[in-house]
Each structure stands twice: as C-alpha cells, then as structure tokens.
Amino acid sequence: MRDKKLPTVIFGEVLQELRLQQGLTQDQLAALAETERSHISALERAEKGPALATVFVLAQALNMPAGDLIGLVEKRLMAHR
C-alpha cells in the first residue's frame, strides 16, 4: 500500500528547500504569498497539504511557474516508487 501522505511530505520538503535556496525565512515567504508564517510552517512539516490555489500563490512568491514546483515534487515522488 502506498503512503497517501507522501506527496504532502515531499511538497513540504521541496517548499522548504526552495525557500532556503532563495534565502527566505518562513515569515518572508508568508508575506510574499500573503499568508501566515504558521501556514508555511504547517506545509513544510506536512501537517497540511496545499490547496491548488496555494500552489499557484507559492510558486509566484518563489518566482517560478506552478508547473515547475509540481514537477519537482512529482520527480521526487517518482523516485520513491
């Protein structure tokens, strides 16, 4: 049986890595995405999965197409299969 939480965990890892690569704090990314730091933290810790609209907002805040963000998650997910 596949772990249904795995995409959420991987999304959190990718989000954190991209944020750190850009030298952003959770507070800074939250401000760019017009959300709360606690929401960014919960996403990074896989306490909650992102809504589709959230993926687009976060990608924009990270200066990348949403498809690229999802692609990074998908690539890592495929490596776990």
1, part of any domain = no
Averaged pLDDT for residues 51-74: 98
Single pTM value for the model = 0.92
Domain membership of residue 35 as a residue range: 6-79
Q: What is the pLDDT of residue 2?
A: 56
Token output for 20: 């750190």
Q: Is the pLDDT of residue 50 over 70?
A: yes
Residue with tokens 């993926």: 55
- For 18, other C-beta atoms within 10 Å of its C-beta total 20
Q: What is the pLDDT of residue 80?
A: 83
Overall domain count for the chain: 1
Top-confidence residue, 81 or 56: 56
CATH of residue 62's domain is: 1.10.260.40
52, part of any domain = yes
**Distance in angstroms (rounded) separating the CA atoms of residues 11 and 45:** 9
Instruction: Give percent of the chain above pLDDT 90.
Output: 90
54, part of any domain = yes
Query: 36: which DSSP letter?
Result: -
18, part of any domain = yes
Token output for 37: 């730091």
